[in-house]
């Protein structure tokens, strides 16, 4: 099975990436070095993670040529509310010390702002400083709104997805629209690692429940960005391309869904200010 996908921008993106939410400045270099040594080529950060500077330094030192890496960052909500898309993007680039970004995402669909943000992001695309633009935490109705105002289809929708949170309808919608789904919190921050079904499947496939959970997403064509700062776990989380979950076990895993959100529920954003 391929370990990369082509986005609707014709850019190639690895299916596996390293998430760095809550990776402290003094952990970034160890984590990113371990990740590239284990074969990761995608790093997922965001201005909200407050670690773009240390992540940028670690990327510069990691020894892999820039063109072989795929770096993602995201615009945070306050910049959207201020209409400061350009400023936010260039501040991220300055902190990361990169000439270009592979993917820039709208972190959350801030009500009343996200369509305007999208139009500004489309202008950034024209500068060549970002190769693909996309969204995160968007539901079908948000994506339908984008369609009304822009011909540019998001390259990626990064959403919470793992066996305990399986938004099937949204995933199928994205796939039918040419939007690559990327799963954040693909380990549910540990919530399914001692689940009985996942443990049985782990034994059956001689992999850990974490690897089985990541593989489940990969087999659906969904990219995964597990976070770890532990070199052993980083390497283990990458070991997901050497086995295949049978259809009947994929179907069993699909039934584990309980809409468990480890982060915010996207449509609650109208009630919650963050
Ligand atoms: N767009 C968004 O709104 C959004 C929201 C949340 C996350 N994200 C992105 O998605 C990435 C991943 O999500 P996440 O960090 O929330 O959760 P996650 O990747 O599901 O889980 C990370 C947690 O699991 C632990 N862990 C990692 N590998 C493990 C393993 N093999 N066995 C046991 N424990 C393991 C990590 O601890 P150690 O570090 O100690 O290993 C950490 O506590 C983030 O880092 C971020 O890049 C995006």
Q: What distance in Å separates the CA atoms of residue 171 and residue 176, rounded to the nearest whole number?
A: 9
**Mean pLDDT, range 235-260, rounded to an integer:** 98
pLDDT of residue 117: 98
Of the residues 19, 48, 49, 72, which should be mutated to test ligand 1's pocket, given the most ligand atoms within 8 Å of the CB? 19
pLDDT of residue 127: 97
What's the chain's average pLDDT? 97
Ligand 1 close to Cβ of residue 185 (< 6 A): yes
**Mean pLDDT, range 142-171, rounded to an integer:** 98
Q: Which residue numbers are catalytic?
A: 49
**Mean pLDDT, range 146-154, rounded to an integer:** 98
- Work out which ligand 1 atom sits closest to the CA atom of 108: 3
Quick one: pLDDT band at residue 271, thresholds 50, 70, 90? low
Ligand 1 close to Cβ of residue 54 (< 6 A): no
pLDDT of residue 272: 67
**pLDDT at 274 > cutoff 80:** no
Quick one: pLDDT band at residue 78, thresholds 50, 70, 90? very high
| Helix, strand, coil distribution of the chain in percent, nearest 5 | 45, 15, 35
**Mean pLDDT, range 260-264, rounded to an integer:** 92
Ligand 1 center from residue 171 Cα (angstroms) = 20
Ligand 1 close to Cβ of residue 265 (< 6 A): no
Give 139-148 contacts, CB < 8 A, sequence gap 24+: 139/109, 139/170, 139/266, 139/267, 140/169, 140/170, 140/173, 142/109, 142/114, 142/266, 143/173, 143/174, 143/177, 143/179, 145/114, 145/115, 146/114, 146/115, 146/118
Ligand 1 center from residue 228 Cα (angstroms) = 6
Q: Whose CA is nearest to atom 41 of ligand 1?
A: 228
CA distances from 47 to 10, 50, 73, 111, 244 (A): 26, 6, 7, 19, 36
Q: Whose CA is nearest to atom 48 of ligand 1?
A: 184
Q: Whose CA is nearest to atom 38 of ligand 1?
A: 228
Residue 191 CA, distance from chain mean position: 18
pTM equals 0.98
Ligand 1 close to Cβ of residue 207 (< 6 A): no
């Amino acid at each position: 099975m391929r370990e990369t996908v082509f986005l609707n921008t014709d850019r190639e993106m690895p299916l596996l990436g390293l998430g760095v939410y809550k990776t402290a400045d003094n952990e970034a270099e160890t984590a990113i070095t371990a990740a590239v040594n284990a074969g990761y080529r995608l790093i997922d950060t965001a201005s909200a993670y407050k670690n773009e500077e240390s992540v940028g330094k670690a990327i510069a030192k990691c020894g892999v040529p820039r063109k072989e890496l795929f770096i993602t960052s995201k615009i945070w909500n306050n910049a959207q509310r201020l209409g400061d898309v350009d400023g936010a993007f260039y501040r991220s680039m300055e902190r990361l010390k990169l000439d270009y970004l592979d993917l820039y995402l709208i972190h959350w669909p801030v009500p009343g702002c996200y369509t305007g943000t999208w139009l500004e992001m489309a202008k950034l695309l024209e500068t060549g400083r970002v190769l693909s633009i996309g969204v995160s935490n968007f539901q079908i109705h948000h994506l339908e709104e984008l369609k009304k105002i822009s011909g540019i289809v998001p390259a990626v929708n990064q959403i919470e997805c793992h066996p305990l949170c399986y938004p099937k309808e949204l995933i199928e919608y994205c796939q039918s629209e040419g939007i690559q789904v990327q799963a954040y919190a693909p380990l549910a921050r540990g919530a399914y690692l001692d689940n009985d079904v996942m443990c049985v499947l782990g034994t059956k496939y001689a992999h850990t429940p974490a690897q089985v959970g990541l593989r489940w997403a990969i087999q659906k064509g969904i990219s995964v960005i597990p976070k770890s700062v532990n070199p052993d776990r980083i390497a283990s989380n990458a070991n997901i391309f050497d086995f295949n979950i049978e259809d009947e076990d994929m179907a069993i895993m699909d039934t584990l869904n309980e809409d468990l959100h480890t982060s915010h529920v996207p449509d609650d954003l109208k009630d919650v200010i963050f």
